[in-house]
Amino acid sequence: MPVAPFVIGLAFAVVLHGLVGWWLDSGPGVASTVAALFVVAILVARDKPQALSLWLGVMIGMTATLLSIGGGTMWPLVIVIGGVMTGMTILGAWAARRLVSLNRKGGAA
């Protein structure tokens, strides 16, 4: 598994919490996180293993942050919902990157 995307994902989750607080507590927090993660994923997730590695890093960083601030009474749901949202964002970024790449190849041919 690629290490760099994992570390970037981990750092992303921790730094983002420092900047905007717990991201799932507000609409702007969710929007800014999804947008920022999409950009990071476009730059980092060049293939499936890298996308997966990035997502795992984000998830572990997010879970550690959640536990450090107190998970609340629905923490497993928070992790699942956060995981689905970050996963979909990274998947979307990877798909977008792939689409652009295919278009470029098609144009070059």
Quick one: which segment of 8-16, 39-47, 64-72, 93-101 binds another protein (CB under 8 A)?
64-72
Residue 75 within binding range of another protein, rule CB under 8 A: yes
Judged by beta carbon, residue 31 or residue 43, the one nearer another protein is: 31
| 8 Å CB contact between 72 and 78 | yes
DSSP 73: T
User: x/- site string to another protein, residues 13 to 42, per CB under 8 A?
Assistant: ---------x-xxxx-xx------------
Residues 38 and 90: their CA atoms lie apart, in Å, by 6
Where helices occur in the chain by DSSP H, the ranges are: 3-20, 27-44, 48-69, 75-108
Q: How far is the CB of 37 from another protein (least distance, A)?
A: 16
Of 1, 3, 73, 108, which lies in the binding site for another protein, with binding defined by CB under 8 A?
Answer: 73
Residue 58 is given by DSSP the state: H
User: Given the rule CB under 8 A, which residues bind another protein?
Assistant: 22, 24-27, 29-30, 66, 70-78, 81
